[in-house]
Structure 1
Amino acid sequence: MSNDIRERATGDVVSVLPARADDLTRLRTLLENSEPIVTVIGKYNHGKSRLLNELIGRDIFAVADKRETVALSDSVHEGVRWLDAPGLDADVGTEDDRHALHAAWLKSDIRLFVHAAKEGELDAKELALLAELDEDGGRTRRSTLFVLSQIDQLADDTELEKVSRRIDTQWPGVVLHAVSATRHRKGAEEGKKLLLEKSGVPSLRVELGAALARVPAARAHETALLFAEIRKELVELLAVQQESRDGLSQTQNQQRLEFDAGLQTVIGKVSVDIEAMLDALGTDHAIIPDTAKDAYAITAGKLERAHIQIAYSRACIAIDSFLAGHGVIGLPAEQETVARALNSVMVAVMGVSVKFRKDLRRMFCEPSGRERMQRDFSHYYELSADRKALAARIAAGESAVIACENALSALRALEHTG
């Protein structure tokens, strides 16, 4: 799998599990099957860069009495990639700190935690980082070696023992690798084997060699662990998302069934009442047009039409009350007119008034009329704010399910490259 494809696959998973971004970055490092990576971390001016130079046997990393390393520096030597991380300042959250932690967590297979002997006991920040490294080591099997550096700056071995006891009190059982890069350099330049041994660097190299031998197994364990954890989280998340989406869809269907049944009942009831009223009427006076002389008179036709309008209004009130209970009131914005009084679902479906028996009978007493009302009101029900919001939630839920399924597929693709 090419880096571009691997990056896209990683992005698919991160889009669903953003909190796993660092783990996925670590996975990519593991899948690249690069050389083992050793990272030196600790506070600045504690001799990290000088220590790396002595371990490698070449002056590769910059050394100074001031804060020199401000970004990740690396070098490959004899099949090992060495990283010199910026020092951990007292200022929490600085860019340099982020570089150092990035190296410690995402890049390295082995961490060399360096603490200057002259500083005495560990500070709170160092203790916190050690605790995190220790916990991570138990989980991923990555090694952390504690290096007590610059021991040549102590007065004597008694002072070294005192510092070691203080650190052991803070971190019981810690294995300290006491070293002096200065002694090692002097011993190498002057050919003094005793000084070389007393520098602690040779014994640290032995421990480092043993840790490097464990890297392949540790990487295999960590790779399997991360895949298993992320896969489990995705599967659980997918189940939750599917359940949520299905629950919303069930609610949507149940609401529609209840609406259709309730609307049919209301329309059926008002239709029965109207049909009974119409059947009880005698001569149809409403169809007889009024003459000019009847303009201000009360005629049988006017009384008939008023009677029909009242029956129609009562039917509309009953239906409108049902619709309002389901949030079906105003028209969608795209259907609204400048006349606000006309911007209601009742007006859109039923019209403003009915004057004649045939119209009332056609609307309420004929199956086609009742079916039209059922269909049109159901249409506006689906366009109501609550239903549209529910549909949007279902669509979002479906998108989340698809994204999670894609993430699982991407994770499988990544796993097959391992």
Structure 2
Amino acid sequence: MTDANGDVLRVLPHRADALARLGMLLRNGEPVVTVVGKYNHGKSRLLNELVGSEVFAVADRRETVRLADTLHEGVLWLDAPGLDADVASGDDRQALHAAWLHADVRLFVHAAKEGELDAAELTLLGQLLADAAQTQRQTIFVLSQIDQLPGDDELDQVVGNIARQVPGLTIQRISSTRFRKGQQDGKRLLIEQSDMPSLLRRIQEAVAATPAARVHETSLLLGELTDEVAALLHETDAALGRDRERQHRQRQAFDLGLSKVIGKVSRDIESMLASLGQDHAVIPDKAKDAYRLTAGKVERARIQVAYSRACIEIDAFLAGQGVVTIPTDQETVARALNTVVVAVMGVSVKFRDDLRKIFSSLTGRERLQREFARYYELSRDRKALAARIDAAAASLAALTRAMDALRRLERNG
């Protein structure tokens, strides 16, 4: 169960309690009867009478501060700290842990002398009864310490108030003191008046129903977890498919748009070069031409202008696609040079052969297409999309493992 639990927990961390309960169900240990209720309401004394020995500590002060248990006649009896006994809520956490994680049968204990249920008790009892209807784990309401009321009228009033608070609730009226005295003195009437025999019968019936309830609850939890993982699988797979399709469409649009821009600037360059006559750019200037406007200087300037215009058109397209800056590890101290166009094409071109090599040859155009596409994939938006796709793919793999784990649990359960 551990590996399977881990696989499911990784994708459903909020279902840790359900997975813990499922683990206990699959281990199929002894039926567990747990008492739950507020501090000093007679829970430990009740358990001692039910198991027939002084196993659990009893005192007027807060005594049960951690889970305590005893195995009696094939049943594990569990005593938990009282609710509201610890201001730091540590006891509450242990008590609720016992009620929700460990228990097959819950005895909800409320002292008759306290009158009707308070808001916290009402909420918890409502939750336990709702859970009983869903999981078949039974909750038995025990009105304890009825001997501490002045008479039957007062008891009937308390019972009536609680019945109005929780319509349809079966209220087991219990006196552990009468039961103990009846047993010690051999007085059957006191034993019957304690109503403990009736409670024991209800507990025995609930314990007998535990195997079937566990099968039902196991199926219920596996179904819930499987449905939740399946929904996440569907959602994640759909999102991954959409992002991959978006990634593909964006790349197609980029490649097509870039190809058109490169094609246009290449034709412009070819047209400009075709309009030139003699190649003056290759003729080097002499020393005497340092301050003179020569034909070579004019042509080299014209070539540079055509090159710059081509760079500007390509850069405008790239900017529209979010391809603006180069990776940090390629940056130089000259900020103006830290552009994708400069990284791919360089700063300047002065000769016709250089222009033709870049724009007129198939190899040159393919290089531009390839290099600009590489920087496109390094752009912020594309990297974010790729990261999202990788994360979704990892989630999908984790969800698949979780689904496989749940199916193994279902087969082996």
* Code of the aligned partner of 1:313: S
CA contact (8 A) 2:39 2:85 kept: no
What is the aligned partner in structure 1 of residue 252 from structure 2? Answer: 257
Q: Which amino acid aligns with 2:340?
A: V
Tell me, what secondary structure is at the counterpart of 1:115? strand
Whether 1:184 and 2:179 are equivalent positions in the alignment is yes
Specify the alignment match of 1:138 in structure 2. 133
Match for residue 325 of structure 1 among 320, 338, 351: 320
Residue-by-residue CA offset, 1:48-73 (whole Å, 9 max, x unaligned): 00000101111100000111111111
User: Which residue, 77, 82, 87 being the options, matches 2:82?
Assistant: 87
1:108 is the counterpart of 2:103: yes
Distance across 1 between alignment mates of 2:12 and 2:270: 62
Alignment of 1:198 onto 2:193: yes
Q: 2:362 aligns with which of 367, 370, 384?
A: 367
C-alpha contact 2:108 2:141 (8 A) present in aligned 1? yes
Q: What is residue 3 of structure 1 aligned with on the other side?
A: none
> Which residue of structure 1 aligns with residue 350 of structure 2?
355
Q: Secondary structure at the match of 2:139?
A: strand
Cα distance in structure 1, aligned partners of 2:124 and 2:229: 29
What's the CA shift string for 1:349-402, capped at 9, x where partnerless? 111100011111121111111111111111111111111111111111111101
- Aligned partner letter, 2:43: K
* Correspondences of 1:115-130 after superposition (within 5 Å): 115-130=110-125
- Whether 1:229 and 2:224 are equivalent positions in the alignment is yes
**Per-residue CA distance 1:65-88 (angstroms, 9 max, x = gap):** 111111111111000000111111
The answer for the alignment partner of 2:23 in structure 1 is 28
Q: Distance in 2 between matches of 1:379 and 1:174?
A: 71
Q: Who is 1:160 aligned against?
A: 155
Residue number in structure 2 paired with 1:65: 60
Identity value in percent? 62
Partner Cα distance (1:135, 1:90) in 2: 25
How many residues are matched?
A: 413
- Structure 1 residue 415: Cα displacement: 2.3
Which segments of 5 or more consecutive residues in structure 2 lack a partner in the other structure? Answer: none
Secondary structure of the structure 2 residue equivalent to 1:395: helix
For 1:280-299, list aligned pairs within 5 A: 280-299=275-294
> Match of 1:295, as an amino acid?
A
Q: For residue 414 of structure 1, report the CA deviation from its aligned partner.
A: 2.3
Counterparts of 1:128 and 1:91 in 2: how far apart (Å)?
A: 19
Q: Mean Cα displacement is larger for which, 251-260 or 337-346?
A: 337-346
Q: Distance in 1 between matches of 2:395 and 2:306?
A: 50
- 1:388 corresponds in structure 2 to 383
Report the counterpart of residue 415 of structure 1 in structure 2. Answer: 410
State the secondary structure of the residue aligned to 1:297.
Answer: coil
Q: Could you tell me how far 1:90 is from its partner in structure 2?
A: 7.0
**Bigger mean CA offset, 105-114 vs 328-337:** 328-337
Tell me, what secondary structure is at the counterpart of 1:377?
A: helix
1:16-69: CA deviations, max 9, x gaps? Answer: 011111111000110011010000000010000000010111110000011111
Cα RMSD over matched residues?
1.1
- In structure 1, the residue corresponding to 2:117 is in which secondary structure? coil
In structure 2, C-alpha distance between the alignment counterparts of 1:144 and 1:263, rounded to whole Å: 71
Alignment of 1:36-51 (within 5 A): 36-51=31-46
Distance in structure 1 (CA, Å) of the matches to 2:104 and 2:238 = 40
Q: Which amino acid aligns with 1:407?
A: A
Match of 2:72 among 64, 71, 77: 77
TM-score, scaled relative to structure 1 = 0.97
* Residues 90, 131 of structure 1: alpha-carbon distance in 2 compared, 3 angstrom cutoff: farther
Deviation of 1:157 (Å): 1.4
Amino acid at match of 1:178: R
1:215 to 210, 217, 220: 210
One-letter amino acid matched to 1:130: L
2: CA distance between counterparts of 1:89 and 1:381? 61
TM-score (norm: length of structure 2): 0.98
Q: Return the alpha-carbon distance in structure 2 between the equivalents of residues 140 and 327 of structure 1.
A: 55
Q: Please, which moves more after superposition, 383-392 or 298-307?
A: 383-392
Report the Cα distance in structure 1 between the residues aligned to 2:88 and 2:245, rounded to whole angstroms: 48
Are 2:228 and 1:242 aligned? no
AA aligned opposite 2:287? A
The whole-number CA distance in structure 2 between the counterparts of 1:164 and 1:288 is 114
Conservation of the 8 A alpha-carbon contact between 2:85 and 2:91: no
Q: CA deviation at 1:339?
A: 2.4
Distance in 1, Cα, partners of 2:157 & 2:379: 77
Q: CA deviation at 1:92?
A: 7.5
Q: Which whole-Å CA distance do the structure 2 matches of 1:413 and 1:174 have between them? A: 39
